Structure 1
Amino acid sequence: MIRHKGPISGIATHGGRYVATAGYDNQVILWDAATRRPLARAVHDHLANHVAFSPDGRYLLSSSSDYTARLWSVPDLVLRAAFSEHGDDVEMGVFHPERELVATASRDHHVRVYDYGGRLVASFAGHRADVISVEWLAGTDELVSSSDDGTVKRWSLTTGALVSDIDLDGVETDTIAITAAGLVYAGNDRGEVVRLTESGTRNFPAHEAGIKRLVWNEDAGTLVSLSYDRTVKIWRIGADGTPALAASASLPAAVWPRSCAFLDKDTLVFGTFGSCYAVYDTVRDAWDLGGVGQTPALNAVTVSQGRVYTIGDCGVVHVDGKPAAETGSLCNFLIAAGGRVLTGGQLGRLFDADTGAVLLEHRSPLNCAAAFERGGVPHVVVGAYTGEGLVLRVDGGRVEHVATLPLHANAVKGLAVADGTLFAVCADTSAAWFSTDTLTETGRLQAAHGKIANGCAALPGGRFASVSRDLSLRLWRGTSATVLPTPHDHSVKCVAASGDGRRIATGSYFGTLAVHDTATGEWSVTRPATAGISSLHYDAAADRFLATSYDGAVHELA
């Protein structure tokens, strides 16, 4: 049966009849909205990020990390055109409301416009970082785009020029929504809904963590916001454009707060970490997760006391391949310290990986962790999507929160500790150094990487390695780095180093493993999976690297 095998990252609807989903399993699936039965499937060469229906429902546009957007006929999902001029992931694509044109937003910093035949009509350059969102202004040939550079830009297809450029104080803005009257709203990483007008901007506090998606419903006159604080909020827009909160709901553990769409004026559909989408009745405040089954994707692996622990999207801890504990939702990391193994993820909760017991709750998802000793006592630091580092004392069977470090202003993507120094890399490309003795900052670089940093590892002598979407491996000595090009041609997701630091393993979203020999300067490359490599761990006892992939496999690299 057709089902997703990885998280559903994008969702769209048409006429109350169809639902389309895009998944991290590379699949695009068309569903019958009435029965939630799959009707057809299409496949990208890499992660599918977003889907959108044409105004007449005859076509579906999908956007992917394979650097393409693709046009499919509905309902058979036959490929009609591929838009392939992008130099990086395509995050989003939208149809022109009246003409046979589509616009795409790419992490190569460009907005592009194509016709239905696949011909490039226009390319807009001007953003200084990844373009995450794009929308057409109703009744015009103008587009609005938002970017990780903290700006919202307006472009004219007629003149090919930049019409306006609004700086949102450098705050990353993942999503925009535009009403038929031309009111523009943005959702930023501070959890604010921002109203943009010709006279300026006005910020409305909305969430406790970053807003990942805004969705406008013209018929209902409502704006929906999704946040990593794991709430969905519905706003009524007043005559003056001011949003007023109409309803709020907590998201079930299976729902990924990245995408949603209106099925009708009272019903929303959401992407999930499971095999099917979720449905929410806003009138009855009722969720329907029927058919949302577990997926096999793995996100982390570690070895403790000779046993191999894994965890992934379904939140089930496996030990030596057998289920051991359940956490209830996607988890991102595993860390061993003080005789315990800890895990955490989207719910913002820290769990005991052997029992599933909740040890700590935070306001945003937990992304990564590192272990160290302080005063001879085991400690762990956990990195959050909201930039904090939660320092925990793990001693005598107790886990105690002892400090919160201001690591970054954005999601912490990787943590490592060596010789009394904590190294933290961030989604905003920055890196920071802290003393594990005093828990104070000792160094910071705002532009430490060319693009989003994804992970880091400790090296002997208080040194570190880090990887990024810029396809480079950085070897850090203090706050100075030697930058090495890697053999990867897609974003490098993770890194781990052997105990002596000679071998540094890197894994990419394209399923490639590349190991760098620091003594010879040589790389060895293999591709054990068509799904992305999600994590790497060096098992010192066996002198091997373990890599997990999004297809649920664990790969060994001696």
Structure 2
Amino acid sequence: MERLLKSVRIHRGPVTTAMPVPHSSLIVTAGYDGAVGLFSPNAIELLGYHDHLVNRVVTDPTGTWAGSCSSDYTIKIWNIPERRLVQTLRGHSDDVEDFVFIDSEWAVSASRDRRLLMWNWPSGRIERILLGHQRDVLAVAADNQHIYSTGDDRTLRVWDRNTGTLLTQWGPFEAETDTCALDVPRNRIVLGCDDGYIRIFSLNTGASLASWSAHQSGIKRVAVNSDGRLLSAGYDQRVIVWNMDSHAPQVVLDPHSACWERSLNWTSDGSGVVAGTFDGTVIQWDAQSGAQMAELGAQPAGPDHICWNEAAAAEDGTIALVSDDGRVRAGHIDTDPASWLTMEPPSGRVLMNAVAYDPHHARILAGAHNHVLHQLGVSLTGLRFEASYSLGLGPINTIRFTPHGEEAWIGTYSGTLVRWSPDTHAVIGAYALHDGAIKALRLLADRHEGVSCSAAGEVLAWDWSGRRARHFGGHTAIVNDLDVSSDGRWLVTVGRDFILRLYEYQTSRLMTAVDLGRRSPKSVLLINEHEALVGDYWGYLLHVNLDSGQIASRRIATNGLSSLSHVQTRVLATSYDGSLVVTDTAVLSVRSLAPSGQRFAEWATEEVS
């Protein structure tokens, strides 16, 4: 009996890691749907689920064990030959971003709780806690004697495996450092940085050996294969194989518009490269030629799931939405989503993070992962493509029109704010105000000011000429979202320090700070100076009393609430699980506009002779 891949249900959302299993043709995968799976040329199997999205999955050198780390704060250990879960490691208090097996007993994990934990993984026992990082720890590597870690505090650190002592620290660098890899043949370590630079250091002497500009945007993955070749992937949409002696590019892999840069890995023999996509599939390349060889799990019509990233709404109930599938949608909150208008940009589908709707001119701006801004017109008969423009400043994360639609402001991954003219399809100005990726922005039209927050923990107000006006202090981690009251008096922010803060806008005075618990907040909506709604990464909608600090919560989705919008007297919540939920401001009445389509109880294959 042969199992046909075309009949298989794949990941319902982005694949965050594709990791070849040593000594086999299998690829173990992890996804936003919380699933851990096994891809092979002829089948896809489900190992099991986490309670939240999975950030990374790795294998041990024998190919027997896989370790998956998740935003549910756990690591799960899987027996690959037996296809079963054998251990769950608990001890972190925030998202676990990376994990590595050291040997048959020891492993180490890295987390946004700023800690590295060393595990006796068969027993589930924490053996040692490594403290020192000042911000989120995003990547970890290890050999028999040392542990290497890097993250948002812009440092690369070396620890003694046996004592947990910090031995060496490089940095802080000028940019965040998301990824590192050991170059075992040359006894070096490679660091990928958010300024697009690759930096290499000697493990013997600690000396800086090389540094070069490898990408035009942040590097999200570096990996070294067994023969010492280096792979790097950046937000400039390029995946490059480098000669580690000359530091010259050997080959640039064929581009794939849905490739997730963080997901790439070498095949066990070093002859190929694999990656996950935002479409739930796995790509395979030949590392010598750079040619794409296959896409496992691809559907002829594209993905049949939607992970909503943002919605924009108008007072008449019109909404515009963008998602991981790279399509723009528009409709009315009281109509069936099946009747909504849908358009794929002429340049093709690329994940979109940001959207804004201008009801005065019936037009939409949508921002894509590949740095491109798309402008569309809206009519009763359909969406009309008007223009595309590559800003070249990293993924576009947030967009807002001025009140009458004459201009728009755009926040980018590079920390640059862009002022845009929809009428002339041209950039009016660009202002590098933030040290980290801009996560959200709002405009105060009567003041000709805006306010934005960033991954560096900054909240800044600025005038429309791009000059900084004031700073709102207090956050100690990424600030994910903000909102301003309609009269411009109050500003509310939420961050990965689990705190909601309310400020008096004009004075920057902090009025209240509310501890939201241990689930990271993603989105916020200010109802008035006494109430706010917060959506978290676990699908909970929190009603926060800003006077008393009292919180009432209700789970309305199975994955993160990516945005909250006022729609007439109601609130629209979008989720990464594909659901759209309409509620009142007290979260007493909840109506599902589109159900979750992300998780399946099982993946099925059809067997034919």
Same fold per superposition (TM over 0.5):
yes
Give the match for residue 261 of structure 1: 265
Cα distance, 1:476 vs structure 2: 2.2
Distance 1:11 1:92 in 2: 14
Distance 2:169 2:290 in 1: 39
> Residue deviations 1:470-523, cap 9 Å, x none?
11111122433234224453110011234x555422100000111234467543
Deviates more, 1:64-73 or 1:467-476: 467-476
Find the partner of 1:93 among 72, 76, 99: 99
Structure 1 residues 354-365: aligned runs within 5 Å: 354-363=383-392, 364-365=394-395
**1:342 and 2:365 are equivalent in the alignment:** yes
Percent identity, aligned pairs only? Answer: 27
Structure 1 residues 368-383: aligned runs within 5 Å: 368-373=398-403, 378-383=406-411
**1:464 and 2:501 are equivalent in the alignment:** no
Change (3 A) 1:77 1:423: farther
Find the partner of 1:507 among 535, 553, 565: 535
Cα distance, 1:462 vs structure 2: 4.4
Give the match for residue 275 of structure 2: 270
Q: Which amino acid aligns with 1:111?
A: L
Change (3 A) 1:213 1:476: same
Deviates more, 1:209-218 or 1:353-362: 353-362
Distance 2:118 2:535 in 1: 33
Find the partner of 1:516 among 544, 547, 562: 544
**1:178 and 2:182 are equivalent in the alignment:** yes
SS of the equivalent of 1:489 reads coil
> What's the C-alpha RMSD, in Å, of the aligned pairs?
2.0
Aligned length: 540
Distance 1:281 1:509 in 2: 36
**1:332 and 2:353 are equivalent in the alignment:** yes
Cα distance, 1:99 vs structure 2: 4.0
Deviates more, 1:10-19 or 1:176-185: 10-19
| Contact 2:68–2:99 (Cα < 8 Å) also in 1 | yes
Give the gaps of 5 or more residues in structure 1: none
Change (3 A) 1:444 1:520: closer
Distance 1:308 1:159 in 2: 56
Cα distance, 1:160 vs structure 2: 2.4
Cα distance, 1:159 vs structure 2: 2.2
Give the match for residue 161 of structure 1: 165
Cα distance, 1:217 vs structure 2: 0.4
**1:210 and 2:218 are equivalent in the alignment:** yes
| Contact 1:11–1:269 (Cα < 8 Å) also in 2 | yes
Change (3 A) 1:85 1:521: closer
Cα distance, 1:317 vs structure 2: 2.1
Change (3 A) 1:358 1:214: farther
Q: Which amino acid aligns with 2:242?
A: W
Q: Which amino acid aligns with 2:327?
A: V
Cα distance, 1:403 vs structure 2: 0.5
Give the match for residue 300 of structure 1: 310
Deviates more, 1:263-272 or 1:380-389: 263-272
Change (3 A) 1:501 1:211: same
Give the match for residue 603 of structure 2: none
Q: Which amino acid aligns with 1:332?
A: N
- Taking structure 1 as the reference length, the TM-score comes to 0.92
Structure 1 residues 428-443: aligned runs within 5 Å: 428-436=456-464, 438-443=465-470
SS of the equivalent of 1:552 reads coil
SS of the equivalent of 1:289 reads strand
> Residue deviations 1:242-278, cap 9 Å, x none?
5222122463211111121122423211111012211
| Contact 1:39–1:75 (Cα < 8 Å) also in 2 | no
| Contact 1:488–1:514 (Cα < 8 Å) also in 2 | no
Structure 1 residues 59-458: aligned runs within 5 Å: 59-96=65-102, 98-115=103-120, 116-137=122-143, 140-181=144-185, 182-197=187-202, 198-201=205-208, 202-219=210-227, 221-238=228-245, 243-249=247-253, 251-263=255-267, 264-287=269-292, 288-292=294-298, 293-294=302-303, 295-304=305-314, 305-320=316-331, 321=337, 322-327=340-345, 328-337=349-358, 338-339=360-361, 340-353=363-376, 354-363=383-392, 364-373=394-403, 378-395=406-423, 398-418=424-444, 419-436=447-464, 438-444=465-471, 448-458=474-484
SS of the equivalent of 1:347 reads coil
**Greater strand share, 1 or 2?**
1
Q: Which amino acid aligns with 1:351?
A: H
Deviates more, 1:263-272 or 1:203-212: 263-272
Distance 1:549 1:424 in 2: 22
| Contact 1:425–1:431 (Cα < 8 Å) also in 2 | yes
Distance 1:551 1:469 in 2: 21
Distance 1:524 1:122 in 2: 37
Give the match for residue 3 of structure 1: 10
Distance 2:129 2:547 in 1: 44
**1:479 and 2:479 are equivalent in the alignment:** no
Cα distance, 1:125 vs structure 2: 0.6
The structure showing larger relative contact order (alpha-carbon pairs under 8 Å, at least 6 residues apart) is 2
Deviates more, 1:100-109 or 1:475-484: 475-484
- Taking structure 2 as the reference length, the TM-score comes to 0.85
Cα distance, 1:330 vs structure 2: 1.1
| Contact 1:546–1:554 (Cα < 8 Å) also in 2 | yes
